[in-house]
Protein backbone atom coordinates (compact mmCIF):
# COMPACT_ATOMS: atom_id res chain seq x y z
CA UNK A 1 0.00 0.00 0.00
CA UNK A 2 1.41 3.37 -0.97
CA UNK A 3 2.05 6.20 1.46
CA UNK A 4 -0.27 8.37 -0.65
CA UNK A 5 -3.13 5.92 -0.19
CA UNK A 6 -2.52 5.82 3.56
CA UNK A 7 -2.55 9.63 3.68
CA UNK A 8 -5.81 9.68 1.71
CA UNK A 9 -7.52 7.39 4.21
CA UNK A 10 -6.12 9.28 7.19
CA UNK A 11 -7.43 12.49 5.63
CA UNK A 12 -10.86 10.89 5.18
CA UNK A 13 -10.92 9.92 8.85
CA UNK A 14 -9.94 13.43 9.87
CA UNK A 15 -12.62 14.95 7.63
CA UNK A 16 -15.19 12.79 9.36
CA UNK A 17 -13.98 13.78 12.82
CA UNK A 18 -14.14 17.46 11.81
CA UNK A 19 -17.73 16.95 10.62
CA UNK A 20 -18.68 15.61 14.04
CA UNK A 21 -17.01 18.62 15.69
CA UNK A 22 -18.94 21.02 13.42
CA UNK A 23 -22.23 19.31 14.25
CA UNK A 24 -21.52 19.50 17.98
CA UNK A 25 -20.51 23.14 17.66
CA UNK A 26 -23.76 23.96 15.88
CA UNK A 27 -25.88 22.13 18.45
CA UNK A 28 -24.09 23.87 21.32
CA UNK A 29 -24.80 27.26 19.74
CA UNK A 30 -21.46 27.90 18.09
CA UNK A 31 -21.37 29.57 14.73
CA UNK A 32 -20.63 27.14 11.94
CA UNK A 33 -21.35 26.99 8.24
CA UNK A 34 -24.43 24.79 7.96
CA UNK A 35 -23.92 23.59 4.38
CA UNK A 36 -21.10 21.10 5.05
CA UNK A 37 -23.02 19.68 8.00
CA UNK A 38 -26.37 19.49 6.24
CA UNK A 39 -25.33 18.37 2.75
CA UNK A 40 -23.50 15.07 2.23
CA UNK A 41 -22.11 16.28 -1.10
CA UNK A 42 -20.81 19.57 0.30
CA UNK A 43 -19.02 18.14 3.34
CA UNK A 44 -15.33 17.35 2.97
CA UNK A 45 -15.80 13.61 3.47
CA UNK A 46 -18.61 13.56 0.91
CA UNK A 47 -16.37 15.29 -1.60
CA UNK A 48 -13.65 12.72 -0.89
CA UNK A 49 -16.12 9.86 -1.34
CA UNK A 50 -17.28 11.30 -4.67
CA UNK A 51 -13.86 12.23 -6.07
CA UNK A 52 -11.55 9.57 -4.61
CA UNK A 53 -13.30 6.64 -2.97
CA UNK A 54 -16.01 5.86 -5.52
CA UNK A 55 -13.83 6.37 -8.61
CA UNK A 56 -10.90 4.34 -7.22
CA UNK A 57 -12.58 1.85 -4.89
CA UNK A 58 -16.18 1.83 -6.05
CA UNK A 59 -15.86 -1.87 -6.89
CA UNK A 60 -15.69 -2.64 -3.17
CA UNK A 61 -19.05 -3.16 -1.44
CA UNK A 62 -17.65 -1.29 1.56
CA UNK A 63 -17.21 1.84 -0.55
CA UNK A 64 -20.85 1.71 -1.65
CA UNK A 65 -21.87 1.18 1.99
CA UNK A 66 -19.69 4.10 3.05
CA UNK A 67 -21.53 6.39 0.67
CA UNK A 68 -24.92 5.20 1.99
CA UNK A 69 -23.99 5.41 5.67
CA UNK A 70 -22.39 8.82 5.15
CA UNK A 71 -25.66 10.07 3.65
CA UNK A 72 -27.56 8.63 6.61
CA UNK A 73 -25.27 10.55 8.99
CA UNK A 74 -26.27 13.76 7.24
CA UNK A 75 -29.97 12.88 7.40
CA UNK A 76 -29.72 12.48 11.17
CA UNK A 77 -27.58 15.62 11.46
CA UNK A 78 -30.28 17.56 9.61
CA UNK A 79 -32.94 16.28 12.01
CA UNK A 80 -30.84 17.36 14.99
CA UNK A 81 -30.11 20.75 13.48
CA UNK A 82 -33.80 21.27 12.72
CA UNK A 83 -34.67 20.45 16.34
CA UNK A 84 -32.08 22.95 17.54
CA UNK A 85 -33.40 25.66 15.25
CA UNK A 86 -36.95 24.94 16.41
CA UNK A 87 -35.89 25.78 19.95
CA UNK A 88 -35.59 22.16 21.08
CA UNK A 89 -31.90 22.35 21.89
CA UNK A 90 -31.98 19.84 24.74
CA UNK A 91 -33.65 17.23 22.55
CA UNK A 92 -31.16 17.92 19.77
CA UNK A 93 -28.23 17.44 22.16
CA UNK A 94 -29.71 14.20 23.47
CA UNK A 95 -30.00 13.10 19.84
CA UNK A 96 -26.22 13.15 19.51
CA UNK A 97 -26.24 9.70 21.07
CA UNK A 98 -28.30 8.43 18.11
CA UNK A 99 -25.76 9.61 15.59
CA UNK A 100 -22.70 8.13 17.35
CA UNK A 101 -23.21 4.51 16.19
CA UNK A 102 -23.68 5.72 12.62
CA UNK A 103 -20.54 7.87 12.73
CA UNK A 104 -18.65 4.92 14.19
CA UNK A 105 -19.83 2.84 11.24
CA UNK A 106 -18.35 5.42 8.85
CA UNK A 107 -14.93 4.96 10.47
CA UNK A 108 -15.32 1.16 10.43
CA UNK A 109 -16.07 1.25 6.70
CA UNK A 110 -13.04 3.45 5.98
CA UNK A 111 -10.94 0.93 7.91
CA UNK A 112 -12.52 -1.95 5.95
CA UNK A 113 -11.74 -0.22 2.65
CA UNK A 114 -8.14 0.18 3.75
CA UNK A 115 -7.95 -3.51 4.66
CA UNK A 116 -9.49 -4.66 1.36
CA UNK A 117 -7.18 -2.50 -0.71
CA UNK A 118 -4.19 -3.86 1.22
CA UNK A 119 -5.39 -7.42 0.49
CA UNK A 120 -5.85 -6.61 -3.20
CA UNK A 121 -2.31 -5.19 -3.38
CA UNK A 122 -0.79 -8.47 -2.19
Q: Please, are residues 45 and 15 in contact by the beta-carbon 8 Å criterion? A: yes
| pLDDT, tens digit (0-9, with 9 covering 90-100), for 39-90 | 999 999 999 999 999 999 999 999 999 999 999 999 999 999 999 999 999 9
| pLDDT, tens digit (0-9, with 9 covering 90-100), for 4-26 | 888 999 999 999 999 999 999 99
Note down the domain range covering 97.
3-121
User: CA–CA separation, 48 vs 10, rounded Å?
Assistant: 12
DSSP string of 36-66? HHH-TTTSHHHHHIIIIIHHHHTTSHHHHHH
What's the number of domains the chain is made of?
1
Q: Which of 77, 75, 90, 86 is nearest to 28 (CA)?
A: 90
Integer-rounded Cα Rg, in Å, for the chain is 15
Average pLDDT, the chain: 94
Question: What pLDDT does 85 receive?
Answer: 95
The model carries a pTM of: 0.92
**Residue 1 pLDDT > 80:** no
User: CA–CA separation, 35 vs 41, rounded Å?
Assistant: 9
**Residue 2 pLDDT > 90:** no
**Residue 118 pLDDT > 80:** yes
CA 56 to chain centre: 18
Question: What pLDDT does 34 receive?
Answer: 93
Amino acid sequence: MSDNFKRELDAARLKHILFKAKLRSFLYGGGTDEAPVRDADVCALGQWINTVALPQFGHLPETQQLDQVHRRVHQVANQLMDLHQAGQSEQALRGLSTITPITDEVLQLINAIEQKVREEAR
